[in-house]
Amino acid sequence: MSRAAPVSRKQAFADQVVEQMDAFAPVQAKPMFGGFGIYRDGLMFALIANDQLYFKADDQSEGEFTREGLPPFTYESKGKTARLRYHEAPPEVFDDPQRMAWWARLAYDCAVRQRPAARKAARLRDKPSKGASPGRGTGQAAASLLALPNLGPKTVDMLVGVGIRSESVLRKAGAVKAFARVKAARPDTTLHLLWALEGALSGVPWQDIGESDRASLLMALEDVTRSQPHVPSR
């Protein structure tokens, strides 16, 4: 009789957080850059890194964290210290489900506030585009890429050139891996493409990819770069 594989310490902690957030709402822990993102209804509002829970913050909510002396999440990249707008969870949330629910709600509301541009962009995306002429990535599949925000004919040509020929293929790869593939083929590609791809998949203009989301993307890109050394990181 086979035994179930043992649950890792990281996974056990993520499962604990999900269970303790039950008083707030059903949430999911999804693996990302060596830790976990905590999601509700497709919105990431918390993360787990190095066995520590962090909640998302913005200008409206950050004061709550600073008053409690809760530091932001930081990480090393290219010899420099970068920070995300996520702050450590207060220790009492692990003993008090109602406090966990309060802080989770604060972070989730932050994630919701950052979403309105997505609804506006989706309405613009659904309008028929005028004068768009596909490059060599012609055809219905490539046209699905052109229908996404931020992606013009030249960008679609770059994606098609590395085998990403439709929206479904792009979504399966994700913004980071798609960017890494283009960067490997075209080393002069800038990070603006990464923001554009993330915005395309999220339904928002690339300018609306916030500081914390960009930092998360860069962390994920570092992971891809380490696993695929031939991919330039920047």
> Residue 133 above 50 pLDDT?
no
H or E segment and range at residue 29: strand 28-32
Q: How far apart are CA 147 and CA 167, in angstroms?
A: 9
Which has the higher per-residue pLDDT, 28 or 113?
Answer: 28
CATH topology classification for 131-227? DNA polymerase; domain 1 (1.10.150)
Where does the pLDDT of residue 112 fall: very low under 50, low under 70, confident under 90, or very high at 90 and above? confident
- Which residue would you say has higher pLDDT here, 206 or 20? 20
Q: Which segments of the chain belong to CATH 3.30.1460.30?
A: 9-114
Residue 126 has pLDDT above 60, yes or no: no
> Among 63-67, 135-139, 151-155, 222-226, which is the least confidently predicted range?
135-139
Q: What is the spatial distance between Cα 139 and Cα 19, in angstroms, rounded to a whole number?
A: 46
In this model, does residue 68 exceed pLDDT 90?
yes
Is the model's pLDDT at 217 over the cut of 70? yes
According to the model, what pLDDT value does residue 148 have?
Answer: 85
pLDDT digits 0-9 by tens, 81-111: 878 889 999 999 999 999 999 999 999 998 8
Q: Which residue has the higher pLDDT, 43 or 2?
A: 43
pLDDT (0 to 100) of residue 31: 86
**Mean pLDDT rounded to a whole number for the chain:** 81
Higher pLDDT, 4 or 76: 76
Q: What is the pLDDT of residue 29?
A: 94
CB under 8 Å to 108, separation ≥6 — which residues? 24, 25, 40, 43, 45, 56
pLDDT at residue 116, rounded to an integer: 52
CATH code 1.10.150.20 region(s) in the chain: 131-227
In this prediction, residue 167 has a pLDDT band, given cuts at 50, 70 and 90, of confident
Please, are residues 202 and 116 in contact by the beta-carbon 8 Å criterion?
no
Q: How far apart are CA 129 and CA 86, in angstroms?
A: 37
Give the 3-state secondary structure of residue 184. Answer: helix
The domain defined by 9-114 folds into: Yope Regulator; Chain: A, (3.30.1460)
pLDDT of residue 121: 47
More confident residue, 232 or 35: 35
